[in-house]
Amino acid sequence: MKILVTGGTGYIGSHTAVELQQEGFEVVIVDNLSNSSAGVIDSITAITGIRPVLEVFDLADYKKTMDFFQRHSDIQGIIHFAAYKAVGESVEQPLMYYRNNLVSLMNILEAMNSQQIPNLVFSSSCTVYGQPDELPVSEQAAVKKAESPYGNTKQISEEIISDTIRTSGLKAIALRYFNPIGAHPTALIGELPLGVPNNLMPFITQTAIGIRPQLRVFGNDYNTPDGTAIRDYIHVVDLAKAHVISVQRMIQSRMKKPFEIFNLGTGIGYSVMDVIRSFEKVSGERLNYIVVDRREGDVEQVWANPQWSNTELGWKAEKNLDEMTYSAWKWEQAYKKRSRKQ
Ligand code: UFG
Whether the Cβ atoms of residue 270 and residue 231 lie closer than 8 Å to each other: yes
Q: Which of 209, 207, 210, 187 is nearest to 199 (CA)?
A: 207
pLDDT at 191: 96
Q: Which residues pair with 4 in a beta bridge?
A: 28, 78
Could you tell me if the CB of 207 is within 6 A of ligand 1? no
Could you tell me if the CB of 243 is within 6 A of ligand 1? no
DSSP letter for each residue of 86-146: -HHHHHH-HHHHHIIIIIHHHHHHHHHHHHT--EEEEEEEGGGG-S-SSSSBPTTSPPPPP
pLDDT at 3 over 90: yes
Q: Measure 232 CA to ligand 1 centroid, in angstroms.
A: 10
pTM: 0.98
In whole angstroms, what is the distance from residue 300 CA to residue 131 CA? 7
Could you report the per-residue pLDDT of 210-235, keeping only the tens digit for each? 999 999 999 999 999 999 999 999 99
Could you tell me if the CB of 83 is within 6 A of ligand 1? no
Angle between helices 272-283 and 200-209 (to 10 degrees): 40
Q: Which residues pair with 263 in a beta bridge?
A: 176
Instruction: For 177, list phi and psi in degrees, rounded to 5.
Output: -80, 145
Give the closest residue (by CA) to ligand 1 atom 35. Answer: 127
pLDDT at 340: 81
Residues 6+ apart with CB under 8 A from 4: 28, 29, 30, 72, 75, 77, 78, 79
DSSP assignment letter at 309: I
pLDDT at 217: 98
150 is an active site residue? yes
Q: Choose, from 11, 150, 177, 335, the residue flagged as catalytic.
A: 150
Which domains occur in the chain, in start order?
Answer: 2-181+232-264 (3.40.50.720), 200-230+267-302+319-341 (3.90.25.10)
pLDDT-derived band at 290, boundaries 50, 70, 90: very high
pLDDT at 335: 94
Spell out the alpha helix ranges (H) of 2-86.
11-22, 40-48, 62-71
